[in-house]
């Protein structure tokens, strides 16, 4: 182990983020570059970095900004993208991913970040942190660029579990509301349920059932349910929270990333087509940079695992330094706000309300 763990006592206000250095496609150098960008922007953040010490120590030493900000925990094993979650749960104890999540369980870090295998990370997170009482299925929530004043919509689930019944979708809505309220300071978030059309008679049976459940909970949970929304509404201004199952959500996010990449490539080709188009690009340079930044998926890199007893942020496997920095920033902000505790309180209150409603229904009285 290297670094200066005693430095945490010198800076008690510093929030520690546990980072898996070995999960990304580009290797630990990109992860170290990403946490260096975060450290440069935020003096109140520190890191526990997991991976082979002989690889990480030279990378950290070359970044002056990381001096006294990083503790390296030697982890010899690495979870690959090809590893099955069941295999990792059985034999992943010595891996950098396991150690990263375990730091949150032990209270050594306020949040965890990994670019690694999504299925394995979710499995390990559920194993080590456990689900919050009352949560059937955790969900991965992401920020999607939108036309709303806050600039983003929250969408969940985007891949934690491909299945979701009506009760799961209700829980996703409640967790998404809490996430939006705390991360964007929106007092009355608007929730939309993703479907193939906005008409109430459309969609699968579980969606129609979820529509009724979410509608009933809107007033008690202090959110506005706008009903069914379509795929074109994901980046729109109709809702702040988009609720869907993990299969649909994952397809949507990958489609969005691919479309953003296509737009950037097409614009580059168009402006490089001729001398006149290159001149036009120079005249529009400021506007083009603003557009590129707005549709850049790296700026909102990081899916939050909601419904666990701790904060875990999944960064994209192909993340670069900017993407890693964005994921770390998200983990820091959630830790700073005590989001995990707030979400646990909301889930607990929702469970109590469900019990009250069930008891009232059995007694033949109207639920509150």
Q: What is the pLDDT of residue 7?
A: 41
Mind listing the pLDDT tens digit for each residue in 38-73?
999 999 999 999 999 999 999 999 999 999 999 999
Q: How far apart are CA 346 and CA 329, in angstroms?
A: 24
Per CATH, is 14-135+307-353 categorized as 3.40.718.10? Answer: yes
Mean pLDDT, residues 343-347 taken together: 77
3-state secondary structure of 133: coil
Choose the weakest-confidence range: 159-163, 206-210, 260-264: 260-264
140 neighbors 160 (Cβ within 8 angstroms):
yes
pLDDT at 290: 65
Neighbours of 294 (CB within 10 A): 11
More confident residue, 301 or 240: 240
Tokens of 223: 């959110």
pLDDT, position 6: 42
Question: For residue 366, is pLDDT > 50?
Answer: no
CB atoms within 10 A of CB 29: 16
Mean pLDDT of 324-332: 91
% of the chain exceeding 90 in pLDDT:
41
Instruction: Return the C-alpha torsion angle 342, 249, 210, 134, nearest 10.
Output: -40
Q: Say how many C-beta atoms besides its own lie within 10 A of residue 120's C-beta.
A: 25
pLDDT for residue 147 is more than 80 = yes
pLDDT of residue 272: 79
Query: Please, are residues 302 and 121 in contact by the beta-carbon 8 Å criterion?
Result: no
Model pLDDT, residue 214? 94
In the chain, % of residues over pLDDT 70: 86
**pLDDT at 283 > cutoff 80:** no
What's residue 15's pLDDT?
92
Mean pLDDT across 120-125 = 90
Q: Give the C-alpha separation, 17 to 318, whole Å.
A: 20
Here the tokens at position 207 are 């969606």
Report the phi/psi class of residue 324: left, alpha or beta, with left for phi > 0 and alpha for psi in -120 to 50.
alpha
Q: Which residue has the higher pLDDT, 210 or 184?
A: 210
Beta strands 241-243 and 190-194: pairing type? Answer: parallel
Is domain 136-299 annotated with CATH 3.40.718.10? yes
Whole-number pLDDT of residue 352: 53
Supply the pLDDT for residue 4. 44
Farthest-apart Cα atoms in the chain, separation: 79
Residue 291 confidence (pLDDT) above 90: no
Residues of the chain with CATH 3.40.718.10: 14-135+307-353, 136-299
Residue 299: its pLDDT value, please? 59
pLDDT of 126 over the 50 cut: yes
Q: What is the pLDDT of residue 365?
A: 46
Residue 288 burial (10 A CB sphere; 0-12, 13-18, 19+) = middle
Q: Using the predicted structure, report yes or no on whether residue 336 has a pLDDT greater than 90.
A: no
pLDDT at 19: 95
Number of helices (H) and strands (E), helices first, in the chain? 13, 12
| pLDDT, greater one: 355 or 137 | 137
Average confidence (pLDDT) over 68-95: 87
Angle at the Cα of 350 from the Cα atoms of 349 and 353, rounded to 5 degrees: 85
The verdict on pTM exceeding 0.85 is no
């Amino acid at each position: 182990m290297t670094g200066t763990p005693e430095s945490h006592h010198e800076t008690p206000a510093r929030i520690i983020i546990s980072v898996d250095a070995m999960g990304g496609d580009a290797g630990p150098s990109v992860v170290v570059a990403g946490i260096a960008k975060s450290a440069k922007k935020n003096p109140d953040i520190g890191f526990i970095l997991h991976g082979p010490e002989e690889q990480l120590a030279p990378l950290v030493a070359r970044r002056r900004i990381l001096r006294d900000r990083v503790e390296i925990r030697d982890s010899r094993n690495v979870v690959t993208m090809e590893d099955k979650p069941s295999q990792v749960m059985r034999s992943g104890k010595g891996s950098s991913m396991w150690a990263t999540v375990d730091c949150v369980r032990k209270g050594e870090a306020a949040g965890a970040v990994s670019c690694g295998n999504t299925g394995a990370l979710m499995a390990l997170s559920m194993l080590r942190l456990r689900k919050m009482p009352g949560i059937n299925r955790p969900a991965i929530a992401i920020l999607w660029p939108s036309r709303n004043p806050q600039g983003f919509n929250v969408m969940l689930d985007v891949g934690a579990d491909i299945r979701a019944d009506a009760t799961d979708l209700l829980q996703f809505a409640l967790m998404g509301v809490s996430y939006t309220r705390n991360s964007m300071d929106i007092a009355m978030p608007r929730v939309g349920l993703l479907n193939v059309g906005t008409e109430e008679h459309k969609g699968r049976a579980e969606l129609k059932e979820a529509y009724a459940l979410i509608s009933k909970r809107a007033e008690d949970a202090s959110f506005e349910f706008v009903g069914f929304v379509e795929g074109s509404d994901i980046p729109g201004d109709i809702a702040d929270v988009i609720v869907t199952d993990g299969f649909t959500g994952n397809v949507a996010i990958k489609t969005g990333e691919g479309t953003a990449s296509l737009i950037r490539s097409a614009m580059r080709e168009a402006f490089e087509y001729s001398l006149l188009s290159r001149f036009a690009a120079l005249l529009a340079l400021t506007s083009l940079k603003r557009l590129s930044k707005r549709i850049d998926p790296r700026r909102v890199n990081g899916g939050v695992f909601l419904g666990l007893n701790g904060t875990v942020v999944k960064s994209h496997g192909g993340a670069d330094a900017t993407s890693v920095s964005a994921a770390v920033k998200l983990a820091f902000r959630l830790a700073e706000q005590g989001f995990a505790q707030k979400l646990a309180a909301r889930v607990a209150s929702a469970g109590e309300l469900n019990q009250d409603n069930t008891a009232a229904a059995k007694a033949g009285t109207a639920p509150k």
